[in-house]
């Protein structure tokens, strides 16, 4: 782990199914992939990325409710790119994969983790099932007993910018949540270097409607969201213990974290603003530039910039900018991501690339979509 900012310098089925555009350009042997629960926004985003991945061989896509339905019928955006047909989950078929992604509700991966791991299948879980290391804490926040606590010590938290080497050797990845990704990347350099007060971290974050998932609910109706702006979960959000666990691990002590999420009337995107109390003065810009200089998916913007969610739409990028208001001793860090890509499916693919010795950017090099 990088530990400081010294010497800073500024730097600018039950049968195999196919994705027509898949090749094996970066791997002599295609990666046989299973996707469990691909009917939500995160699942379809994962299929979109895998459809253009040079080493992916989509072996099976599962959904109990949609078994027998072609993926492209449910998601016309994938027509001509993904020829898969949803299948009911089958342990034998999934066990024939090299890696299985879980894009499922919380608790589902618990039941399938053991038989798949015993078969030598690697797991990349996009739910929260293995993110929190304390099973009692997880149960408190997710309202059910943890179904596979024996794997919590083994699961690697899949934030590549923090745990890259552990990810390479892992067989079970817990993909970070969307808010935790945006918040953690915004403060990692400062906590690692001991340059801010770990007892006083305020994270104010806004998310688009897709963050709530692809389900019918009154709060997500167009007429309810359009021309509205609201805070929610002020009494505690499920991502708080995840963020607190990550930041405390980096700081080497418990972090005093206030985390307040908001819903804004847009489809994709997260904007997190962190308010931090620094220990004295330092070249904060150079600190971030040095820390993320070799990170392919973190863009430290020039001083005085204001990152926009539209500038990362559809990409695996996190853009970061810093500011220090003249009337305050606080340091502000602004961080934006696409919640469905760097906050979910893209980061999952980034983990797969590391696990299978591929270029980390494979299948993730697309430019943002604008407007």
pTM more than 0.85: yes
Helix axes 346-355, 160-169, angle to 10 degrees: 40
Question: Which one has a higher pLDDT value, 210 or 254?
Answer: 254
In a domain, 225, yes or no: yes
Instruction: Determine the Cα–Cα distance for residues 40 and 322; give it in Å rounded to an integer.
Output: 34
The residues near 371 (Cβ < 8 Å, ≥ 6 apart) are 310
Range of the domain at 301: 179-339
Is it the case that residue 220 has pLDDT exceeding 80?
A: no
Question: Which one has a higher pLDDT value, 217 or 230?
Answer: 230
Once rounded to an integer, what is the mean pLDDT over residues 153-176?
Answer: 98
Asked if 167 and 288 sit in the same domain, the reply is no
Asked if 321 and 189 sit in the same domain, the reply is yes
Instruction: Determine the Cα–Cα distance for residues 321 and 303; give it in Å rounded to an integer.
Output: 7
Q: What is the residue-averaged pLDDT of the chain?
A: 90
In a domain, 17, yes or no: no
Q: What is the pLDDT of residues 286-297, one digit of tens each?
A: 999 999 999 999
Once rounded to an integer, what is the mean pLDDT over residues 346-371?
Answer: 95
Structure tokens at 149: 């606590």
Asked if 216 and 330 sit in the same domain, the reply is yes
Least confident among 154-163, 222-231, 279-288: 222-231
- Write down the catalytic residue from 5, 178, 287, 318: 178
User: Would you call 19 a catalytic residue per the annotation?
Assistant: no
H or E element in which residue 61 lies:
strand 56-62
Q: Do residues 205 and 272 make contact, with C-beta atoms less than 8 angstroms apart?
A: yes
Structure tokens at 110: 């618990």
Question: Which one has a higher pLDDT value, 217 or 53?
Answer: 53
- CB atoms < 10 A from the CB of 165, how many? 11
pLDDT at residue number 228:
75
Asked if 348 and 315 sit in the same domain, the reply is no
Q: What is the pLDDT of residues 90-130, one digit of tens each?
A: 999 999 999 999 999 999 999 999 999 999 999 999 999 99
């Amino acid at each position: 782990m990088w530990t400081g900012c010294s010497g800073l310098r500024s730097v600018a089925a039950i049968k195999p199914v196919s994705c027509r555009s898949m090749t094996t350009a970066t791997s002599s042997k295609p990666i046989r992939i299973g996707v469990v629960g691909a009917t939500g926004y995160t699942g379809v985003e994962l299929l979109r990325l895998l459809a253009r991945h040079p080493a992916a061989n989509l072996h099976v896509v599962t959904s109990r409710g949609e078994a027998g339905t072609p993926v492209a019928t449910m998601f016309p955006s994938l027509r001509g790119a993904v020829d898969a047909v949803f299948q009911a989950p089958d342990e034998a078929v999934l066990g024939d994969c090299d890696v299985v992604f879980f894009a499922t509700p919380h608790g589902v991966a618990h039941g399938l983790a053991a038989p798949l791991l015993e078969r030598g299948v690697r797991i990349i879980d996009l739910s929260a099932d293995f993110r929190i290391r304390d099973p009692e804490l997880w149960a408190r926040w997710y309202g059910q007993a943890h179904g596979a606590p024996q794997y919590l010590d083994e699961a690697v938290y899949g934030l590549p910018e923090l745990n890259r080497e552990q990810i390479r050797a892992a067989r079970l990845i817990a993909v970070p949540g969307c808010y935790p990704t945006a918040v953690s990347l915004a403060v990692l350099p400062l906590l690692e270097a001991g340059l801010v007060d770990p007892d006083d971290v305020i994270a104010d974050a806004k998310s688009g409607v897709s963050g709530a998932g692809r389900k019918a609910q009154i709060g997500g109706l167009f007429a309810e969201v359009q021309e509205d702006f609201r805070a929610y979960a002020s009494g505690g959000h499920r991502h708080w213990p995840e963020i607190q666990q990550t930041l405390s691990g980096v700081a080497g002590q418990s972090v005093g974290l206030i985390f307040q999420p908001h819903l804004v009337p847009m489809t994709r995107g997260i904007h997190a603003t962190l308010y931090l109390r620094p220990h004295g003065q330092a070249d904060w810009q150079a600190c971030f530039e040095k820390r993320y200089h070799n990170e392919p998916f973190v863009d430290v913007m020039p001083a005085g910039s204001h990152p926009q969610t539209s500038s990362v739409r559809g990409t695996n990028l996190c853009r970061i900018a810093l500011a220090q208001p003249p009337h305050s001793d606080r340091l502000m860090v602004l961080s934006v991501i696409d919640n469905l890509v760097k906050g979910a499916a893209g980061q999952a693919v980034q983990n797969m690339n590391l696990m299978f010795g591929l270029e980390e950017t494979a299948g993730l090099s697309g430019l943002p979509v604008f407007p």
